[in-house]
Chains A and B, each alone.
Chain A
């Protein structure tokens, strides 16, 4: 509650937080609020311009673009949330274990992480898709694994500094096992920086998910996704430029809100940052 009270003081964060909540609401209720069937092909309305019937027009198969943008919001939210959870779970597990165990396990894990951090996230994601396949699950694994190194680094850093604390030593003396210490004494310290990193990661995940599907390596048609809709729109740029408006606007607004919310969450949980600005 204290968090919400402090978060609300940030006007920009509160405003875009509301927009982001609205987008998540749209995603959760997508099946019920689409004005038309997003998959229904209607060859009489191919490239129909925006009208009262189709607010954003119709695409090359006469499908209602607004309905497809709404369903794509759900697809994006589903993929990015799952990828974020996957990245946090793998990253935190490896990072905490490496930091706590130390020794060669730690140096091997960190060398590998350092090497992965050299590569841009989209590259790592593309390489994983080669193996995992361009399916929903494949994209989730790809994006999650590509983001995991960031979480490994943070989790390991905090673990290193916390494991020397007296209360950890006390827990060891009291006979607590490694798993118990990691879960009850180390994890509570890691949760805040991990939450901050997770919110900062969200816009990156959205951008990369749509980039993958723009390249044809993401979710496959007919399931709509913003990047994939833009890729299809490119082929009809001369005859039907209105095809790009809906998915482009949805994507930019989502990423913008997620970015500003991420900044606001970071400043709320870490007030020192604000003073530096």
Chain B
């Protein structure tokens, strides 16, 4: 296990370097003079020149690259084109907000999908199962920006129960968390159902029933424990999807998270902020992936001892 953890942690180094290399490449991939881009379109010549010197855009590529990598390693991702604040200061508080949204949504999705998936599998091919299947299919086909707008209209405007945007009280969390969580729940319910249907068809289930175990025990002890392995992987993948979905959800509900910061920075052509957001999003994805792998190895001894 320790060997696995160390191996996977070592993988993070090259991965991070690859991402920083890509961020550096962005300076030159985006059409236009990078120094002008960083200074702003109407900046005076002196400012453009000082930025060109600071980043070394007048130097050969490898010198620029080295300068950029060392700066990033020291935690310096540049300053925002608009606020002139260091990127790190604008990005860090946003990560916490996105994490809150994503984790709560994922908890909601996990609870709902486990419950509905098990119920669906218990009533396999009966009306209740059919209803759950159709509802989850509709859920998968409804993007967050449709369900989110409908939820805002119904609960915030028509009924006036919940606030439309922001995150200043617990009531602000309800709509974004449920909107984002419901989409995940819909995807996961289908998969939990098929895992459970699979498990319930096994011989040990027949044995358990023959022993006289109650239906509750059969489903939640015998079947669920064995179906848990694929389900854990699915939940891990789900967390990645939730983080991806958070970009759109944050935009709908004006949630001050990393996703909205990234989208706004692209729209306002604030490259340093875009780079910072991409960097931290990437690190989060790699970390989530790592944790999922480790949990998987921890749960499944076959992987651990290989």
Contact of B263 among A118, A120, A215, A251 (CB under 8 A): A215
- Which residues does chain B contribute within 8 Å of A241, judged by CB atoms? 153, 157
With A and B bound together, what is the CA distance between A239 and B146 in angstroms? Answer: 18
CA of A206 to CA of B282, assembled, Å: 24
**A214 pairs with B251, CB closer than 8 A:** yes
Stretch at the interface among A73-81, A127-135, A186-194: A127-135
Q: Does B285 contact A (CB under 8 A)?
A: yes
- Which A residues are in CB contact (< 8 Å) with B29? 131
Is A126's CB under 8 angstroms from B262's CB?
yes
Q: How far is the CA of A127 from the CA of B265 in the complex (A)?
A: 12
Contact A119 B266 (CB under 8 A): no
Segment at the interface with A among B57-65, B107-115, B136-144, B173-181: B136-144
With a cutoff of 8 Å between Cβ atoms, the chain B residues found around residue A248 in the complex are 146, 149-150
* Most B-side CB within 10 Å, residue of A119, A120, A210, A230: A120
Q: Which of A37-45, A85-93, A96-104, A252-260 contacts B (4 or more CB under 8 A)?
A: A252-260
Contact status of A251 and B262, CB under 8 A, knowing A215-B248, A241-B157: no
Do residues A211 and B143 form an inter-chain contact, with CB atoms below 8 A? yes
Q: Which residues of B contact A129 (CB under 8 A)?
A: 266
The answer to whether residues A118 and B247 also contact, given A131-B26, A210-B143, A230-B146 and a CB cut-off of 8 A, is no
**Which stretch from B67-75, B91-99, B237-245 is at the chain A interface?**
B237-245
- Name the one of B142, B145, B243, B274 contacting A227, with C-beta atoms under 8 angstroms: B145
Q: Does A183 have its Cβ within 8 Å of any Cβ on chain B?
A: no
Please measure, in the bound complex, the distance between the C-alpha atom of A131 and the C-alpha atom of B153, giving whole angstroms: 35
* Cβ-based interface call for A145 (8 A): no
Q: Min CB distance, B38 to chain A, in Å?
A: 15
Most buried by A among B15, B144, B247: B247
Per-residue contact bits, chain A 247-270, to B (CB 8 Å; 1 contact, 0 not): 010011001100110000000000
Q: Which residues of A contact B10 (CB under 8 A)?
A: none
Q: Contact: A207 with B137, CB < 8 Å?
A: no
Contacts of B157 in A (CB 8 A): 237-238, 241
Chain A residue numbers with a CB within 8 Å of B144 are 211
Closest to A213 in B: B145
A residues within 8 A CB of B90? none
Q: Does A49 contact B (CB under 8 A)?
A: no
Task: Determine if A231 is an interface residue (Cβ-Cβ < 8 Å).
Answer: yes
Whether the pair A217, B145 counts as a contact (CB closer than 8 A) is: no
* Residue pair B285, A234 in contact (C-beta under 8 Å): no
Quote the shortest CB–CB distance from A153 to chain B (angstroms). Answer: 15
Partner among A127, A252, A260 whose Cβ is within 8 Å of the Cβ of B146:
A252
Q: Which residues on A sit within 8 Å (CB–CB) of B282? A: 119
The A-contacting residues of B in range 247-286, CB under 8 angstroms, are 247-248, 251-252, 262-263, 266-267, 274, 278, 281-282, 285-286
Interface residue count on the B side (C-beta < 8 Å)? 39
Measured CA separation A231–B281 after assembly (Å): 24
Q: Which of these, A215, A244, A259, A260, contacts B153 with CB under 8 Å?
A: A244
Known contacts A237-B157, A256-B141; is-contact A120 B149 (Cβ 8 Å): no
Q: How far is the CB of B190 from chain A (nearest CB, A)?
A: 11
Which one of B30, B243, B248 contacts A130 once the chains associate, using CB atoms below 8 Å?
Answer: B30
Instruction: Say whether B18 faces chain A, with CB atoms less than 8 Å apart.
Output: yes
Residues of B within 8 A of A210 (CB): 143, 145
| Contact in complex: A231, B248 (CB < 8 Å) | no
B243 surroundings in chain A (CB, below 8 A) = 120
B226 within 8 A of A: no
Q: Which of B30, B143, B241, B285 has the most CB of A within 10 A?
A: B143
Q: Is the CB of A122 within 8 A of B247?
A: yes
B141: chain A residues within 8 A (beta carbon): 203, 252, 255-256, 259
Interface residues of B (CB under 8 A from A): 15, 18, 26, 29-30, 137-138, 140-146, 149-150, 152-153, 157, 240-241, 243-245, 247-248, 251-252, 262-263, 266-267, 274, 278, 281-282, 285-286, 289
Show the binding face of A for B, using Cβ within 8 Å.
115, 118-123, 126-127, 129-131, 203, 207, 210-211, 214-217, 227, 230-231, 233-234, 237-238, 241, 244, 248, 251-252, 255-256, 259-260
Extra contacts besides A215-B248, A244-B150 (20): CB < 8 Å: A119-B240, A120-B240, A120-B244, A120-B245, A120-B285, A122-B248, A207-B143, A211-B248, A214-B145, A214-B251, A230-B149, A231-B145, A238-B157, A241-B153, A241-B157, A244-B146, A248-B149, A255-B141, A255-B143, A260-B137
Nearest 9 Cβ contacts at the A-B interface: A120-B244, A256-B141, A255-B141, A248-B146, A131-B29, A214-B145, A118-B289, A122-B244, A215-B263
Of the A-B pairs whose beta carbons lie under 8 Å apart in the complex, a sample of 16, sorted by A's number, is: A118-B285, A119-B282, A120-B241, A122-B245, A122-B248, A123-B247, A131-B30, A211-B143, A215-B248, A215-B263, A217-B266, A230-B146, A238-B157, A244-B149, A244-B153, A252-B138
